[in-house]
Structure 1
Amino acid sequence: MKKQHAVARAIAAAMIASTLLAGLANASGPAAKSKAKGDAEEGEQLSSRSMDAPYLAVPVVRNGELVNYLFVSIRIEIAQGVDLWRTRERAHFLRDALVRASHANDLVDPNDSNALNEPRALEVYRAAAIQALGENAVGPITVVATYSSQGSGI
C-alpha cells in the first residue's frame, strides 16, 4: 500500500510539474529574452535554433531506496551551420538518450535530495545529446527549470 501511495504521489507531482514547466517554457521564449521590441541583439535569437527536452524524470536514490524524483527541463542550442530540420528529425533519439542518461547517472546534489547537481547534469546531458545528434550539432545546453516531487524547485 505504501508503494502505491508513493507511485500515485509521483504521478500527481509529475502532472503538476508538467503544468508549471509548460508555463515557464512558454514564458522563456525569444520574446522574453529581448530587451525591448526591436532591441534584441543577433546572438539573443538562439532559442529559434534550439530543441527543448521538458520534464526529464531524474530518480533520487539514497541508500538503495528511491526517495524522490526531480523533473528537469533543458534547452539544447543547435550549432550554427548545422541543418536544423534534419537535426530536429532526430528528436526522438535525443529524448531517448536524455531519459536513459537521467536514469543511469546520479544527477542529484549529494547533500540535498530536492536539488539538481547542475554541473554534473549538464555534463551528462551534453554527452547524451552528442551521442544522439552528433558532436557538431550540439551548442550550449541550459537547465530551464527543475522541480522536485517533494515540492521544492522552479
Structure 2
Amino acid sequence: MSFLPSRRFVLIALPAGLFASTAHASGGSKTAAEPSVRLASVGIPVIRDRQVVNYLFLSIRINLSMTAPEGKLRELEPMFRDTVIRVSHKISFGQADRHDKLDEPRFKSVMMGEFTKIAGAGNIKSIDILSQSPKKHLG
C-alpha cells in the first residue's frame, strides 16, 4: 500500500509551506549582521601639558571584513581594549580645543594600525565610536 496524501491535505499544506518558506527567507536577510567585535566600555585619559585633565569613556565597535575569522577575533577583545588604553596613555585623543570630546579621525587612524597588528592585514574594515562620555563636561 503506498501513501498518497489526500486532496484536502495538499490544499491545506501547500499554502502553509509557501508562507513559512517566504517568512524564513525574509527574516534571514534582516538578521544577517555585519561581522564585528564590540569592545566593553573603556576609559581613556585626556592629557594636556603632561597632566590628566579628563577621561573619556568610549564604546567602540570594530567592523570586520567578510572573510575575517569573527569568532577568533572576538576572543581577542581584551587585547583590543588593552591596546586602546596603552596607546591612549602615550597619545592624547582629546580634541585640541576641547578636552571633553574625542578627536575621532585621529583616534580611528591610529587605532586602525594598532588593531591591524592584532587582527592581521585585511581583517578590519572600519572602526565606529558608538558613544563617548566625558567624566567632566565643559560649561
Q: Which runs of 4+ in 1 moved over 6 A?
A: 39-42
1:78 to partner: Cα distance: 1.4
Q: Which amino acid aligns with 2:85?
A: V
Q: What secondary structure, in the 3-state scheme, does the structure 1 residue paired with 2:114 have?
A: helix
Residue in structure 2 matched with residue 58 of structure 1 by the alignment: 44
Query: Take 2:53 and 2:114, find their aligned partners in 1: how far apart are those partners?
Result: 25
Query: Take 1:108 and 1:41, find their aligned partners in 2: how far apart are those partners?
Result: 39
Q: What secondary structure, in the 3-state scheme, does the structure 1 residue paired with 2:89 have?
A: helix
1:150 to partner: Cα distance: 0.7
Work out whether residues 39 and 77 of structure 2, in 8 Å CA contact, stay in contact via their aligned partners in 1. Answer: no
How many residues are treated as equivalent by the alignment?
A: 112
Matches within 5 A, 1:31-46: 45-46=33-34
Residue in structure 1 matched with residue 100 of structure 2 by the alignment: 114
Residue in structure 2 matched with residue 86 of structure 1 by the alignment: 72
1:52 to partner: Cα distance: 1.0
Work out whether residues 37 and 73 of structure 2, in 8 Å CA contact, stay in contact via their aligned partners in 1. Answer: no
Query: Take 1:130 and 1:53, find their aligned partners in 2: how far apart are those partners?
Result: 15
1:41 to partner: Cα distance: 7.1
Work out whether residues 40 and 81 of structure 2, in 8 Å CA contact, stay in contact via their aligned partners in 1. Answer: no
Structure 1's 81 and 106: CA in aligned 2 closer, same or farther, altered over 3 A?
same
Structure 1's 136 and 92: CA in aligned 2 closer, same or farther, altered over 3 A?
same
Structure 1's 53 and 115: CA in aligned 2 closer, same or farther, altered over 3 A?
same
Moved more, 114-123 or 133-142: 133-142
Query: Take 2:50 and 2:77, find their aligned partners in 1: how far apart are those partners?
Result: 32
Q: Which runs of 5+ in 1 are unaligned?
A: 1-37
Q: Deviations over 1:88-117 (max 9, x none)?
A: 222222222222122221211010011111
Question: Higher helix fraction: Structure 1 or Structure 2?
Answer: 1
Residue in structure 2 matched with residue 76 of structure 1 by the alignment: 62
Q: Which amino acid aligns with 1:72?
A: L
Q: Which runs of 5+ in 2 are unaligned?
A: 1-25
Residue in structure 2 matched with residue 8 of structure 1 by the alignment: none
Q: Could you tell me the TM-score, scaled by structure 1's length?
A: 0.64
Q: Could you tell me the TM-score, scaled by structure 2's length?
A: 0.70
Q: Which amino acid aligns with 2:33?
A: Q
